[in-house]
Amino acid sequence: MPTMIPRRRREEWLLTLPTFFWLTLFFIIPTVIVLAIAFKPAAPHGGFGEGWTLRTLMELGNPNYPAIVFRTLWISAVATALCILIALPVGYCLARASRKWRQFLMLLVVIPFWTNFLIRIFAWKQVLHPEGILKKTLVALHLVAPDATLLYNAGAVMLVMVYTYLPFAILPIYAAAEKFDFSLLEAAQDLGSSRLGAFYRIFIPGIRRGLLTATLMVLIPALGAYVIPDIVGGPTSEMIGNKIAQRTFVDRNLPHASALTGLLLVTVLVVTGGLYVLVRMRKIPRALGRSLAATGTGNLTTTAENTAPVTPESIADLVAEEEKNKEENAEEDAT
């Protein structure tokens, strides 16, 4: 019935419209305004002046900035990696724990949210302070030198970032692990894999969507972090977020802050896009290896290639494949 299709389309449009307007009004337009300000000249007493200019953008060429972008990237990357490394076993244990234990452990994960974010970070400042409890304990145990500093450096920023963002890594990993069929781990062991091997080869690929979500949930806020490096960081751990705040509140140079915001936006897009491409590219050597193996001319398909940990397939691909296969199966069942 051809008349059905346009009608369904129209309904889809009607359903999408409110969201579309909402996003346009409160997200797209403000973002465009912020980015547009980057092309305005700075006014001497804050705000921005008349006319358009590319000068602010040119100033981003200042050798200072690549260093800050790079630092932002590596601090965020390390914090994200640490979060994932901690969240993986936690998510696994949560999913395997008995109901009662699970509720209790989940409570522990979310309890920090009951206290204000700023208060918790100031608490860390107390802990890491030269006269703080952690420093004194470590010195007493001869684990650090008496003149070592725990505060105002990249280490402190990463530590507090991991502390702050860990629940955002645990929750998606737990959500994925909870749906994971743990009998698959037994199957892997049955086929000769050790416990750890089964975890790596079967569990991690099995929760890859949760892993990707966790990575993005931590990485994106980390890239834009401002409060954490501002409070526990120092000049050597300044991130883009700090620079944006400084340009806005101290220098009152809105165009410059906007340009930096654009830079941050591009960084986030490049990183997430890069992750996506990396994930997609994994398919190419595999497919290549398979065809080579099929023709007997050699192979690129190694064990690691085929069972590598994070391989989120494109959902669209899967759906298309599923449709195709369903049809084939239907034909088969019919015969």
Partner 1 sequence: MPPFLSFENISKSFGSHKAVDNVSVDVSRGEIFSLLGPSGCGKTTLLRMCAGFEEPDSGRILLDGVDITNIPPHKRKVNTVFQNYALFPHLSLRENIAFGLRIAKRPEKEIQAEVDKMLDLVQLTDHADKLPAFISGGQKQRVAIARALINKPQVLLLDEPLAALDLKLRQRMLVELDGIHDEVGITFLYITHDQGEAMGISDNIAVMNQGRIEQIGKPTEVYEAPRSSFVAAFIGDTNFFEGTVTEEKGTEYLTVKIDGFPDVTVFNDKNAHKGDPVYLSIRPEKFSVSVEKPAENEHVNAVEGIVEEVIYMGSHTRYWIRVQDYRISTNRQHIRYALDEKPIQWKDRVWLSWRTDDGYMLERYAAADEKLLILPEE
CB of 266 to partner 1, least distance (A): 33
- Which C-beta is closer to partner 1: that of 137 or that of 291? 291
CB of 158 to partner 1, least distance (A): 31
Cα separation, 278 vs 283, in Å, equals: 9
**Residues in touch with partner 1 (CB under 8 A):** 181, 183-184, 186-194, 197, 202, 205-206, 208, 290, 293, 299, 301-303, 306-307, 311, 313, 318, 321-322, 325-326, 329, 332-333
The tokens describing 70, both together, are: 């790079």
- Which C-beta is closer to partner 1: that of 102 or that of 290? 290
Half-sphere exposure (CA, 13 Å, Cβ side) for 231? Answer: 20
Collapsing DSSP to helix, strand or coil, 42 comes out as strand
Collapsing DSSP to helix, strand or coil, 48 comes out as strand
CB of 181 to partner 1, least distance (A): 7
CB of 101 to partner 1, least distance (A): 18
- Which C-beta is closer to partner 1: that of 12 or that of 190? 190
CB of 313 to partner 1, least distance (A): 8
Cα separation, 170 vs 85, in Å, equals: 10
Comparing CA positions, the residue from 46, 60, 35, 72 lying closest to residue 241 is: 72
Comparing CA positions, the residue from 117, 119, 112 lying closest to residue 167 is: 112
Comparing CA positions, the residue from 259, 261, 252, 247 lying closest to residue 48 is: 252
- Which C-beta is closer to partner 1: that of 201 or that of 256? 201
Cβ–Cβ under 8 Å, residues 200 and 208: no
- Which C-beta is closer to partner 1: that of 10 or that of 195? 195
CB of 290 to partner 1, least distance (A): 8
- Which C-beta is closer to partner 1: that of 265 or that of 292? 292
Q: How many CB atoms lie within 10 A of CB 4?
A: 8
CB of 279 to partner 1, least distance (A): 13
Cα separation, 69 vs 65, in Å, equals: 6
Cα separation, 205 vs 198, in Å, equals: 10
- Which C-beta is closer to partner 1: that of 25 or that of 187? 187
The tokens describing 3, both together, are: 């008349």
- Which C-beta is closer to partner 1: that of 31 or that of 194? 194
- Which C-beta is closer to partner 1: that of 248 or that of 311? 311
Cβ–Cβ under 8 Å, residues 90 and 175: no
Single-letter amino acid code for the residue at 241: G
CB of 195 to partner 1, least distance (A): 8
Comparing CA positions, the residue from 54, 311, 122, 76 lying closest to residue 207 is: 311
Would you say how long the chain is, in residues? 335
Single-letter amino acid code for the residue at 216: L
Comparing CA positions, the residue from 115, 135, 119 lying closest to residue 127 is: 135
CB of 293 to partner 1, least distance (A): 6
